Amino acid sequence: MEKILVTGGSGLVGKAIHNIVGNNSIYHFTNSRETDLYQYESCRKLFEKLQPTKVIHLAANVGGLFKNMNNKVDMLEKNLIINYNIVKCCHDFGVKKLISCLSTCIFPDKTTYPINEEMLHNGEPHSSNDAYAYSKRMMEIHCKSYREQYGDNFMCIIPTNIYGSHDNFNLNDSHVIPGLIHKCYLAKKNNTDFLVSGTGKPLRQFIYSNDLAKIIILLLDKLHYNESLIISPDSTYEISIGKIAELIAREFDYMDKLRYDTTKSDGQYRKTANNTKLKQLYHNLEFINIETGIKETIQWFQKNYNTCRK
């Protein structure tokens, strides 16, 4: 009987997958309250109990620019430990397919654009998130090593910036869209400036969590595909942080108080990704537009303000 384990089941992408598959009994969503993924024996007991045939590995110690800059040891060590435990258990228990989640922020800082899957290790990542980046690069090497030595069907996906409902809206540790949504919400509530860190000029590609979840579910059935794969809309979807801030401010009807704190770091200027391999696999993929995605995310945030992660 097929059994699919999803680590990070209470997170942004885990919740999106759960919303799609519903209460399908073949899926098991685990979270940090149920299983301590930092402990190998805890991971092993989970695999012994569940005997998963496929694994979607989403659990990670993640955050936005300033969490990456200020917590480098945690970002490195915790992710190395989690990833080692999951990848090793997948091998030891004969998992038929492992999909592990990386991020485009781990690519080299000094590179040509658009970036593709073969460029992952071609230089140092940006200094602002190098510890996190190296931990994720090591997981790609770990999966590749198991493929080459044992023939394990382990692959890594590399999504662009993910956003959507069930995100982490913490003002200090979140990624850019949820952080800006929470900032704007509080600014309007308190009648203060909606202050965006940096110049607003850096460019990013964003993917709605439901879109990513649908692609991950599709990939589970491609048992013979195990190459690293960028998951991204076309480069025409690239948008500046300033434009994102404007879209959010308009949804809150608060454009007149939008300001930029240019004393704060911008981080990496761009990370434009090439999705050619993805489009070769799936020719007719459609992605929700950023305006609709932000609108839906804000609506969810306001409705769940008292209980969401913040």
* pLDDT tens by residue, 92-126: 999 999 999 999 889 998 899 899 999 999 999 98
For the chain, the domain total comes to: 1
Contact between residue 100 and residue 300 where contact means Cβ atoms under 8 Å apart: no
Q: What is the average pLDDT across 285-303? A: 95
- Tokens 């685990």, located at residue: 30
In a domain, 292, yes or no: yes
Q: Which amino acid is located at 52 in the chain?
A: P
User: Rounded distance, CA 158 to CA 78, Å?
Assistant: 19
Residue 66, pLDDT score: 67
* Residue 132: active-site member: yes
pLDDT at 196 over 90: yes
Q: What is the average pLDDT across 149-169? A: 95
**What are the CB-based long-range contacts (under 8 Å, 24+) for 67-74?**
67/172, 67/173, 68/128, 68/129, 68/131, 68/132, 69/128, 69/129, 69/265, 72/130, 72/131, 72/132, 73/131
Residue 41, pLDDT score: 96
In a domain, 308, yes or no: no
Contact between residue 104 and residue 230 where contact means Cβ atoms under 8 Å apart: yes
Q: Which residues form the domain of 163?
A: 4-303
Name the region of 151 (left: φ>0; alpha: ψ -120 to 50; beta: rest): left
In a domain, 309, yes or no: no
Residue 62, pLDDT score: 78
In a domain, 30, yes or no: yes
Query: How do residues 42-92 score in pLDDT, each as one tens digit?
Result: 999 999 999 999 999 999 987 776 677 788 999 999 999 999 999 999 999
Residue 63, pLDDT score: 73
User: Rounded distance, CA 250 to CA 139, Å?
Assistant: 40
Q: Can you name the residues that pair with 262 across neighbouring β-strands? A: none
Min mean pLDDT across 133-147, 161-175, 286-300 is at 161-175
In a domain, 215, yes or no: yes
Among 3, 101, 89, smallest CA distance to 39 is for 89
Average pLDDT, the chain: 93
CATH of the domain at 251: 3.40.50.720
Q: Residue 243: how many CA atoms within 13 Å on its side-chain side?
A: 12
Choosing from 40, 84, 113, 132, the catalytic residue is 132
pLDDT at 216 over 80: yes
Query: How do residues 218-253 score in pLDDT, each as one tens digit?
Result: 999 988 888 999 999 987 779 999 999 999 999 999
In a domain, 310, yes or no: no
Helix axes 176-190, 241-251, angle to 10 degrees: 40
